Amino acid sequence: MAEYKDYYKILGVGKTASDAEIKKAFKTQARKCHPDMHPENEKAKWTEKFKDLNEAYTVLSDKQKRTIYDQVGEKGYQDYARGGGTSRSSAGGAYSGNPYQQYQQYTYNGNPGQGFGGFSGGGNFSGADFSDFFQSIFGGMGGMGGFGQNFGRSAAAGQASGDVEAELTLNLEDAHRGGNMQMTLPNGRTVTVKLPAGVSEGKKIKLKGMGNPTRRGQGDLYLIVKIRPHAMFRLEGDDLHVPVVIMPWTAALGGTISVPTLDGPVQVKVPAGTHNGKKLKLSGKGLSTKGSLYVTLTIDVPRTLSREQKDLFTKLAQLG
């Protein structure tokens, strides 16, 4: 049986943490643990840490998943593990199988091979990269996307009475890549949805005949795309923004740096005499090919200097 994972501890937040606190904690830790920010010989270690962070954020940033996770808790899960597949609720009533299943309302299965959750380059994450513990709780709910809390609301004015709308929440990487996704709707029906590459926030995807029944026939279901906040990239329309740290000598002399993109890291030239806060534009590297990636350069001053480095900076100060 899979070992229980404390997602709150992994993110470094309390169990009463707000959505904003969870988001802030994830962003802070993800920047530290992102594999692209570490040497090649350490990428494997940091990839595993980043997977855990992604998994914790996938659960705690989603209201439904967080409720399911909290509902039984560590003791309930451990009782289930010790019981070999039979557990009891806190009220004493027995329920067999996975103790979380009684709370699940829908499932979502991402297309195998699609990346998710904020990392690309050193390798791709997919639904299979969720831990056994995650799979034992959520099964096919996955991390690539899911229906929001507004599933089944009436469609906008001007649409047929049988039409309904639902939010479809995606990770940034999945919105960028697009592709076919298999979903199980709340009515139990499994459908395949084709997402165009670079699908933007607010885009409506029409599923014909998947709405409410009417006297004239079946209405349509409109999926409204919502994109989750990302640990590294900030999304503005089709454009992306990412901060990158460079050293003082690179800023002064120029050089080549590694810049993360949704398709993996790329090498970018930094001109000599670069100032703090300078932005570099990478056309076609945004959410879609129409968008751009704006790289904001931040000059990092070393916190500790060797004697030789200190002497060199002292000479530079004298020359300046």
What are 162-200's pLDDT values in tens digits?
788 888 888 898 899 998 887 766 666 778 888 899 999
Q: Count of domains in the chain?
A: 2
Q: Residue length, the chain?
A: 320
Q: Are residues 218 and 258 in the same domain?
A: no
Element at 179 (helix H, strand E):
strand 179-184
Separation of alpha carbons 80 and 93, rounded Å:
13
Q: How confident is the model at residue 97 (pLDDT cuts 50, 70, 90)?
A: very low
Boundary-marking domain end, from 197, 212, 227? 227
DSSP 126-180: -GGGS-HHHHHHHGGG-SSEEE-TTTTEEPPTTS-TT-EEEEEEE-HHHHHH-EE
User: Which of helix, strand or coil describes residue 267?
Assistant: strand
* % of residues, the chain, pLDDT over 90: 27
Q: Is residue 59 included in any domain, yes or no?
A: yes
Q: Are residues 207 and 250 in the same domain?
A: no
Q: How confident is the model at residue 240 (pLDDT cuts 50, 70, 90)?
A: very high
- Which CATH number covers residue 315? 2.60.260.20
Residues with Cβ within 8 Å of 290's Cβ and at least 6 positions away in sequence, in order, are: 198, 238, 284
- The model's pTM is 0.56
What single-letter DSSP state applies at residue 275?
A: P
Residue 12: domain span:
7-227
Q: Are residues 164 and 296 in the same domain?
A: no
pLDDT value at 126 more than 50? no
Query: What b-and-e string marks burial along 196-212, b requiring 16 or more CB atoms within 10 Å of the CB?
Result: eebbbeebebebeebbb
Residues with Cβ within 8 Å of 192's Cβ and at least 6 positions away in sequence, in order, are: 180, 181, 182, 183
Q: Is residue 1 included in any domain, yes or no?
A: no
Phi, psi (degrees; rounded to nearest 5) at 141: -65, -30
**What type of residue is 164?**
V
Task: Tell me the H-state helices in 139-177.
Answer: 172-177
Q: Are residues 130 and 274 in the same domain?
A: no
Q: How confident is the model at residue 295 (pLDDT cuts 50, 70, 90)?
A: very high
pLDDT value at 275 more than 50? yes
